[in-house]
Amino acid sequence: MSGKYDIGLMGLAVMGQNLVLNMVDHGYKVAVFNRTTSKVDEFMAMPECKFKGNSIVGTHSLKELVAQLKRPRQVMLMIQSKDAVPAPDIALYPKIAAIDAVIEELIPLLEPGDVIIDGGNTHFRDTERRTKYIEDKGLLFIGTGVSGGEEGARKGPSIMPGGTEKAWALVKPIFQAISAKVGPKNDIPCCEWVGARGAGHYVKMIHNGIEYGDMQLICEAYWLLKHTLGYSNEQIQQTFAEWNKGELDSYLIDITKDIFTVKDKATGQYLVDLILDTAGAKGTGKWMSQLALDLGAPSSLVTEAVYARCISAMKEERVRASKVLKGLGNKPAALPKDFVEQIRQALYASKICSYAQGYVQMQAAAKEYDWKLNFGEIAMLWRGGCIIRAVFLDRIKEAFDADANLENLLLNPYFQNIVESAQGAWRNVIKTAIDFEIPVPAFSTALSYYDSYRSAVLPANLLQAQRDYFGAHTYHRTDKPGEGPFHTDWINERQK
């Protein structure tokens, strides 16, 4: 017997709760469940849930949850990927991922054609594995990225679904209804099918990696304003507010300007100045860097952003080192009058390089894992609801509309012109940072990427000679294209 609820959701942490309320706001009826069943009761007792009447029903077991659902059933799991539980066979597997345990419990309760949805921050390889496993059981699987945090979940997130393509038609109405909307009429959903198996979670991971890079770049711009120009928090706020009116218009710039207006009630000091300078991370930036290495994709900016967080976490060690290690202290006497504008240009040029790297990695992944990704549409998925949402993404969509096979965003005329015109400012900002002894790893690696990418010849010829010398790894020759590989007995050649 079929139930009357449109979708079931398990996992009533903040994201899960807000997604439920968002769904109900859009006319859907939702059944909810949580392993800790007291959370179900607490959620149902919230005034906002009571106001929804019978649009939400609380359940106390997966079996009860499934029984409440219309066919074909849709069960969405909002479970942290790192969570683990004791496995059924403790001798074989001391622990398994909580989501795998739930899937094993769900499968016997469902029927062919029913859909299991993973809405957590899941590694794409797990989604690849789960898609095949669940399809083999006659069920459908969606692995979807959901970006936007608590506010996005409640008011409209960016949603990046992948998995079993047959499932898309089933989840599409509710996913697109609850997603953020953009466009002149505010009617274009920031949710579209990404691709097979783990494609959705891979694209969400790239989003998060780019987010790491964006945040680090903004932090470096802030530090330059503060420590070269001596800007006060009020001046920094005004600068970011002005930047948010132009090319850099984005969610992250917008919230950054707001941060510099908040004072601590107890001390009267600006709150940002009281926050310990040690940054945390949930791991998706690291995943992007690791997977970039696997693909040979040079995603250097997100990697530097991850390392910046790593070194920030070494607070006590940095304090000790600051008392011993000294710089030159030779700061320049004066800065250009337009130095604020130079920082803005350096920030925008570096941001372009960051996105260029992210798209190159997605292109490499699409080839490696046989995904048919629409790169222009992916930019539109990020246009609203998510953390990296920005006006700038429209330009990426235009770039791929003009050339679906675009190798690199830097080769698009718009981005090429922006970066080329920003070069003088970009280089001067990095030189100034060096003179002031201010670390700018993200700005610097972005420029190095640009300079490397536009170099027809790099010193890897010497590197290949070294590899051949100590390991007989061979090499190819510029004067004999199509021939080789070659090997030289470097020691005997040297002795002649």
Query: Could you list the active site residues?
Result: 204, 211
β-strands 74-77, 115-118 pairing: parallel
> Distance between CA 104 and CA 354 in Å, rounded?
40
Structure tokens at 8: 């079931």
Distance, CA of 285 to CA of 358 (rounded, Å): 11
Q: Token pair of 230, please?
A: 């001596």
Residues with Cβ within 8 Å of residue 321, at least 6 apart in sequence: none
What is the Cα–Cα distance from 297 to 275, expressed in whole angstroms?
Answer: 35
DSSP code of 181?
E
Q: How many whole angstroms separate alpha carbon 225 and alpha carbon 343?
A: 8
* Closest listed residue to residue 414, CA positions, set 457, 470, 355: 355
Of the candidates 427, 428, 302, the one whose C-alpha atom is nearest the C-alpha of residue 358 is: 302
Tell the burial category of 165 from Cβ atoms under 10 Å away from its Cβ (0-12, 13-18, 19+): middle
Let me know: does 367 contact 177? Beta carbons within 8 Å.
no
The helix/strand/coil state of 261 is coil
5, two tokens: 């609820």
- Whether the CA torsion 391, 392, 398, 404 is positive or negative: it is negative
Round the CA-based radius of gyration of the chain to a whole number and report it: 26
Strand partners of residue 115: 74, 140
The C-alpha atoms of residue 58 and residue 16 are separated, in whole angstroms, by 13
Q: Give the CA dihedral 142, 146, 151, 156, nearest 10 degrees.
A: -60
Show Cβ contacts of residue 295 under 8 Å, excluding neighbours closer than 6 positions: 361, 364, 365, 368
Indicate the helix (H) or strand (E) that contains 490: helix 490-495
Alpha helix stretches (DSSP H) within 179-283:
199-227, 233-243, 251-259
Phi, psi of 110 (to 5 degrees): -105, 170
- Residue listed under structure tokens 């009761």: 41
Entry field: residues in the chain: 496
How far is CA 320 from each of CA 69, 278, 323, 357, 438, rounded to the nearest angstrom?
59, 15, 6, 36, 18
